[in-house]
Amino acid sequence: MPTITSSYQQQVIDNPDKIAIQTSSEAITYRDWYTTVCKTANWLHSITAPCDSIGIFMPNSIAFLQLFTGTAMAGRIAATFDAKWKPTELEQRLEISSPSVVITTAGLAERIRSTEFTIIIWEDASEQILQCDYSSCENVTGEMPFYMGFTSGTTGVPKAFIRSHDSWITSFECSRHDFHINETDHVLIPGALIHSHFLYGAISVLYLGGTIYLLDKFSPLLALNFIENYPITILYVVPTMVEAMLSEDIIIDKPIQIISSGAKWEVDSKQKIKEQFLQVKMFEFYGASELSFVSFLCNDSDKDKLGSVGKPFHNVEIQIRHTHLDETSAREIGTIFVRSRMLFNGYIHPGSRSIQSIKDDNGWVTVDDMGYLDEDGYLYIVGREKNMILYGGVNVFPEEIETVLLKHPDVDEAAVVGMTDPYWGQIPVAVIKGHACKKALKKLCIENLSSHKIPRKWFFVEKIPHTTSGKIARMHVKQLIETEVIRN
């Protein structure tokens, strides 16, 4: 069975001198990339045991991808850690993942407080790797796990999830079949590789034989300069990045395909993109760490379905179920269930270290998102069950209210959360970034929403916190209100 690195040898045979990865300061060919990954895998073989987890605590770089793919080729599991995490957040995830070694830079090593873990400094490791044999050591099967990521932890406690090679190999077929990505593409990855959207984008393109372009860190101006100066054909983004690019006065007049995930892409933003990217094709997809790809929407072919998150990928099945697990009718709201070969293995149990699957007996999985399918099979997301506000016994989804608030031209961002109320149980509360006034927003809500969905309190801020995947950090927003950091 193929693995996420099994195509590299063929890439060397077909295009040895083709650039695999390009950054602002360096480039590496497929011949050198394959040799480097093999050496890294052999080095990891020499210092760890099969199925060990390897902690990767590195900045965005070719080295990050080298360690990630080398770990996969060695039959180990890569656990990735974000340099933006606070020390407590980092310690939580280190404890959950319990890596055999943590590979990091001399600068980042100072952030690791615990003395329980074996820390290897990258500057030393890179010298050792150069001395290793470069013959292929791959003796890995597709069902083996290779990647450990972390959910955002909506309850405040993160979960570690595990993926197998098979799940990503099947996902690569979606990139090829549904996004039409192939070996001729030049793909800009402007975001942090700790975010699975960008990590997947990079690894999938390397598997397919294209060229990826990495930024050390996201800069809207630098990203646009890369698009202007390199033969970029595809751009991976989250919606907040698009908004930042729109603020730059640069017009891109060449064909480019944009692939977005992480949060719903608003219709107004899509229209503005067309004014900046004159020959753009836009894809947005719905998915989750546990589910991988679920559905996708294209601005060319799905113009009358812009409120949806598209149709299922070619190899995905979707069901909408009532609480009692019967399937709903068209346009009837229920819990979204997904079945495909791209599903994750499960969560790591913090005590036993075993992998806990959440598949039902027939292979279906839900992450408790709520939505419905229309008569044409397009999926609409109403909200997350975990985000749901229970107002006087009535379910209110904050995403629905946010969609209305974002219709106002002076609202840059909107976050709605549920706050405890002694009479109603919970009330919807709106946090607004922008210059719109409360009176105008209330009027907009009255015109578009039922009375129980209209926010009872309003807060106006300069910045709304986000997760690393670009989604609103709702727990953080609630904490800021409760501790009166945000005041109305």
Sign of CA dihedral 125, 130, 131, 137: positive
User: What's the chain's average pLDDT?
Assistant: 90
Range name among 152-156, 242-246, 278-282, 448-452 with the lowest pLDDT average: 152-156
State percent of the chain over pLDDT 70. Answer: 95
In whole angstroms, how far apart are CA 17 and each of 182, 211, 393? 17, 12, 64
The β-bridge relationship of strands 160-164 and 346-348 is antiparallel
Residue 152 banded pLDDT, cuts 50, 70, 90: low
User: Which among 188, 169, 182, 168 is positioned nearest to 210, based on CA atoms?
Assistant: 182
Long-range CB contacts (< 8 A, 24+ apart) of 81-89? 81/55, 81/56, 81/57, 81/194, 82/192, 82/194, 82/468, 83/57, 83/59, 83/108, 83/111, 83/194, 84/192, 84/194, 84/468, 87/111, 87/113, 89/158
| pLDDT tens-digit readout, 180-189 | 999 999 999 9
For residue 206, pLDDT over 50 is answered with yes
CA atoms within 13 A on the CB side of 85: 24
Determine whether domain 387-482 maps to CATH 1.10.620.20.
no
Q: Do residues 284 and 260 make contact, with C-beta atoms less than 8 angstroms apart?
A: yes
CA triple 301-305-310, angle to 5 deg: 75
Q: What is the pLDDT of residue 263?
A: 66
Distances (CA, A) of 229 to 212, 252, 254: 14, 11, 11
3-state helix, strand, coil in the chain (%, to 5): 30, 30, 40
Tens of pLDDT, residues 304-348: 887 889 999 999 999 999 877 889 999 998 999 999 999 999 999
Phi, psi of 145 (to 5 degrees): -75, 150
Mean pLDDT of 141-158: 78
Which of 278, 180, 169, 159 lies closest to 227, judged by CA? 278
Q: Of 443, 433, 441, 400, nearest to 418 (Cα)?
A: 400
- Residue range 119-139: average pLDDT? 90
